[in-house]
Amino acid sequence: MTPHNPFLAERNRDGQWVRLCYSEAADRADRISQALLDRGLSLQRPVMVLSGNSIEHALLSLGAMQVGIPVVPVSPAYSLLSSDHQRLKTLFELCSPGLVYVSDHDQFARALAALPLADTEVVAGDRSGTAPGATPFSDLLASRRQQP
């Protein structure tokens, strides 16, 4: 295993492969770690992920875990198939997330509208384009991890 070997891969909307090597993933996870710490996330204010598997989901999870911030992955069915979102609301109340990630803001808009998000930052995947009231995922990558 070398730093330039493939670590993660997925197809984009055009069907083309997007690949990330180990060193790129480590750098991005470090940046995300710092962004989460800068936002005051903690054991008491974890990250909630409403979307399915993706590179962004993996990087967000790695970034959170390496600084001890829990990640609560929620089955997309709780957001996309539910008519009342009661299970999602219950999970939200139980974990009190400081940040909720969705891969596609439009796709998860109904679920987000059902949640009391006043004190919670919504981060939308870069596939979303500009999503009103949401932080683009790329903003998490703008941080530089501070060395101890």
pLDDT tens digits, one per residue of 4-28 = 999 999 998 899 999 999 999 999 9
pTM: 0.93
Across residues 88-109, what is the average pLDDT?
96
Q: For residue 145, report the phi and psi dihedrals to the nearest 5 degrees.
A: -65, 130
pLDDT of amino acid 92? 98
Residue-wise over 110-142: b if at least 16 C-beta within 10 A, else e?
ebbebbeeeebbbbbbebbeebeebbbbeebbe
CA–CA dist 38, 13 (Å, integer)? 31
Domain CATH number, residue 74: 3.40.50.980
Residue 20 falls inside a structural domain: no
Higher pLDDT, 133 or 25: 25
pLDDT at 13: 84
Is pLDDT at 96 greater than 90 in this prediction? yes
In single-letter form, the type of residue at position 12 comes to: N
Q: Look at residue 22 and tell me if it is in a domain.
A: no
Domain-embedded: residue 128: yes
Q: For residue 73, is it within any domain?
A: yes
Report pLDDT for 36. 98
Count of domains forming the chain: 1
Range of the domain at 55: 28-140
